Chains A and B, each alone.
Chain A
Amino acid sequence: MIVAAGGVLAYFFLGVMGIVTGRGRLGGALAILAGVVSLGLWAPGFPEGLLGDPPWGIPLVGDTLALAFWSFIPLVHAAVWWSERRRPSAFHGLVTLLVGTCMATVLSRDLFNMYVAMELGSLLSFLLIGYDARARAVWASLQYLILATVGMILYLFGVGLLYGTLGTLSLSRIADLSPDFSQPTLAVGIGLLVAGTAVKAGVFLVGLWLPAAYGEAPAGVATLLAGLVGKMGIVVLARLSEALPVGMVVAALGVFTALGGLLYAIWERDLKMFLAYQVVAHIGYMLIAFGLGGPAFLGGILYVVAHCLFKGLLFQSAGQAVEAVGERDIGALAGKLPRPAAWGLAFGTGAIVGLPPLAGFVGKEYIGAFIPPPFSWLTVVFAVGVAAAFVKLVPLFRATSSEGDWGSMGLLAAGVMGLSAWGMASVPHVWTMDAVAKALGAVVAGCGLHFLLRRTSPRLPTVTMDRISVAIVIGAAVIPLALLLRG
């Protein structure tokens, strides 16, 4: 535990030193090294330990979820480091700090510590999204910070109610007390915790700050957000559903998010916004897995890691393409892409629609096996919907110029391939003819659906800040009420 905490502290120290001394790039490289060494030392995991003295120490646990995150964090950081290597020192210092915050979040089991980590993550990503000082990116990041802060205010109310009733902030001690919803303060408090975290996690309607923020961020920052930082809210929701009986609420939010995200993704024509709506849809799928718990939880972890790697790859490619061509519309980009971006998009698309040997397939099948029968239609709808949405990227796969940057693309693609190989070796039972046929069938059905829907363009309600804020207030009323009624 000391080693893991030391790794996080090394990250923070190197990040701050990078900003102060003007050697951010060196600091970032050293931090990646420190992260790898620290992981190597605590590798199989560690039981819960307290950082500080008994009654008020911060509980840290190195469980499978933490281990899974730590094992690919250095890779994503290295990819971002390489793709943004020409940036000034302060940028790299901020990236290092942000990655360190994520490493701390996945270890923590303390409600307030997670709050601090999430807020720090919001503030740092806020600075990075608007780093290029383009007015649209600055607005997107301001909207993100305001809405995330509203979510965190709800979370603080939840922390207060929980602490007032149970007298502890440690999630494992709360789990030992096995709270139920018969006490109204507890039901409302837990509901507010879930509602507040849902805003930060990017749940449909309350978290729709996400597409604008991801879509407007510079290439490397979008890679970092999609490949790591955006998953922090999900980690916290997973932790909450481990310790508290809110699994079904989280899973229901997941279903809603998966379908809503797909609905917006299918007709979106802006490349980066399209990928961002796909992030929303996949967040829903992960929440289903984490909410169901038990064996599906492990599938959720596998899917989060796979999604981080291939969505990072997709955002990196899309960012390079948009910056090289100067267009954002998928139709306008077709046939103008540099080769690394086109190949990265092609490979990432193959992985995300779940073509059999690649990582998306293993993750989807693994979760799908544990979804209870009345909802198994969801996996089919989801797979077909994702394929239908991604078919429109096919015209982008033909490259025209060969210049471009292979470095970060190669790193992330190697990550996807490594995970696929690992999945093939260690989860052999998903490799049935049935599953492979189903995955290929979903892709073919998706192509068909794409051609059916190609000519339609329904007017979906536009996403505005006021509408999201109203949705947050409604969510903060509905979720606690639902828990109250169950108690």
Chain B
Amino acid sequence: MEGLTAALMAIALAGLGLWTLIRRRNAIWKLLGLNVASGGSILFLVGVAHRPEARPPILGMGPGPAADPLPQALVLTAIVIHFATLALSLVYVIFLTERRHTQDVPRLERPRRRK
């Protein structure tokens, strides 16, 4: 049951994040939406690892069934990648704010004027 709840919450988070990504005009809001959505994907993988009555998959945590360790290992990698993505994108947003004086996406992508 907890696994299903986690999966549903993950889908809700991803939907919320994508909604923000599409509706907001500001680049930083878009990045925040992206980060919420990636949080959803991470929560989903953790939900997949769930087994009923399981303990965390750490050696020495006592007897009984353990949660599946593989998705949790994947999640660690995914978190690092999402962190790197967010950090690098923020650097570029700062650069664009300094250079173009705006974070408004429709203005940033306005086509170049023909000569």
Contact = CB atoms under 8 A, between A and B. Distances in A.
Given A139-B108, A142-B93, A464-B109, A156 B88 contact: no
B74 A159 contact: yes
Contact of A138 (B77, B85, B92): B92
B115 A329 contact: yes
A302 interface: no
Contacts of A161: 48
Given A135-B96, A146-B89, A469-B22, 6 more contacts: A142-B93, A150-B37, A156-B44, A163-B70, A164-B48, A465-B109
11 contacts: A123-B81, A143-B109, A146-B89, A149-B34, A150-B18, A150-B37, A212-B109, A329-B114, A466-B106, A469-B21, A469-B22
Contacts of B93: 142
A143 B30 CA distance: 10
A149 B85 contact: yes
Contacts of A142: 27, 89, 92-93, 96
B38 A133 contact: no
B115 A135 contact: no
B105 interface: yes
Contact of B95 (A133, A146, A163, A465): A133
Contacts of B84: 123
- Going nearest first, the 6 A-B pairs with the smallest beta carbon separation are A156-B41, A164-B48, A160-B48, A135-B99, A153-B41, A142-B92
B100 A135 contact: yes
Interface string B14-25: 100010011000
A116 B77 contact: yes
Nearest to A476: B18
A470 interface: yes
B78 to A, nearest CB: 6
A154 to B, nearest CB: 8
Looking at chain A's contact residues, is the secondary structure mostly helix, strand, loop, or mixed?
helix
Contacts of A8: none
Contacts of A429: none
Interface of A: 56, 112, 115-116, 119-120, 122-123, 126-127, 130, 133, 135-136, 138-139, 141-143, 145-146, 149-150, 153, 156-157, 159-161, 163-164, 169, 212, 327, 329, 332, 462, 464-466, 469-470, 473
Interface of B: 10, 14, 18, 21-22, 27, 30-31, 34, 37-38, 40-42, 44-45, 47-48, 70-71, 74, 77-78, 81-82, 84-85, 88-89, 92-93, 95-96, 99-100, 105-106, 108-109, 111-112, 114-115
A136 B82 CA distance: 24
Contacts of A138: 92, 95-96, 99
Contacts, number: 103
A160 B71 contact: yes
A120 B115 CA distance: 38
A211 B85 CA distance: 21
Contacts of A127: 88
Nearest to A168: B70
B89 A470 contact: no
Contacts of A143: 109
A119 B81 contact: yes
Nearest to B106: A464
Contacts of A133: 95
